[in-house]
Amino acid sequence: MIENQSDNMDIKENEVSNQDNSPEDNSSAEDKIIENDELSSEKTEGINTEELKNTISNNDARLEQLEKEHETLKNQYVRISADFDNFRKRQSRDQDDLKVQLVSKTLTAILPIVDNFERARQQLKPESEEAQALHRSYQGLYKQLVEVLKQQGVAPMRVVGQQFDPNLHEAVLREPSEEFKEDFIVEELQRGYHLEGKVLRHALVKVSMGPGKQNSQEEVEKDTVEENIDSEENTSEDV
């Protein structure tokens, strides 16, 4: 009995000692768990920071690439817009030129009719009443034709007394002239016309050559005669 009691006492002491040791073990376990959690959290934070840096770096690279693409597309748009604007202007200019060419061709075919009306007005001198009525009739047609030409932008050239210009005039004849200087237009043989400031038809003209050789020779002979007379007078005075 005494041995059993001693054994029970030993068991109780062991239990008490176990109970005294258990809080220390529990606290150390908790510390380890906390430490492990802190380490894992630090590792997680390190991983997250690295991933964030990589993400930011990738986004910056992507942004730079997009900016380059945007600049390239912008330059392409500017070039295409400029090319289209030039194309539109060129098309408009070509259309205007084609229109002027067609109008010029048509009006050039009408101008000989105008020339015939003008020749008839200058040459014909109607005397009878019937002839005068006919004259007034076709002159009325002539005025209508001239008015149509004016409406289309056709204007006649005024060339007599002007200096010869190969861009506007075509010289058919050249003759001496006391009235006009050399290379000035003496007479209009066929009227020239402008169309919207451009030459529709060159004027056929007669151009002055200045004073003629015949007149120059006469002046030389006159000067010679006067010199001979002066010399004879001087000789007689000496005698």
Q: Inform me whether the pLDDT recorded for 163 exceeds 50.
A: yes
| Whole-angstrom distance, CA of residue 43 vs CA of residue 176 | 114
pLDDT at 156: 92
Q: Where do the domains of the chain lie?
A: 97-152, 155-230
Fold of 155-230: Nucleotide Exchange Factor Grpe; Chain A, domain 2 (2.30.22)
Mean pLDDT of 210-223: 54
Q: Where does the pLDDT of residue 229 fall: very low under 50, low under 70, confident under 90, or very high at 90 and above?
A: very low
Mean pLDDT of 194-200: 88
Residue type, 148: V
| Whole-angstrom distance, CA of residue 190 vs CA of residue 173 | 12
Q: How does pLDDT run across 104-130, given as a tens digit for each residue?
A: 888 889 999 888 888 887 777 777 777
Mean pLDDT of 154-167: 91
Q: How does pLDDT run across 57-109, given as a tens digit for each residue?
A: 888 888 888 888 989 999 999 999 999 999 999 988 888 888 888 888 888 89
Total length of the chain: 239
pLDDT at 22: 47
Q: Where does the pLDDT of residue 39 fall: very low under 50, low under 70, confident under 90, or very high at 90 and above?
A: low
Mean pLDDT of 217-239: 47
Left, alpha or beta for 227 (phi > 0: left; psi -120 to 50: alpha)? Answer: alpha
CB 139 within 8 A of CB 121: yes
Per-residue H/E/C for 24-80: HHHHHHHHHHHHHHHHHHHHHHHHHHHHHHHHHHHHHHHHHHHHHHHHHHHHHHHHH
Q: Which of 205, 201, 168, 202 is nearest to 187 (CA)?
A: 205
Q: Where does the pLDDT of residue 131 fall: very low under 50, low under 70, confident under 90, or very high at 90 and above?
A: confident
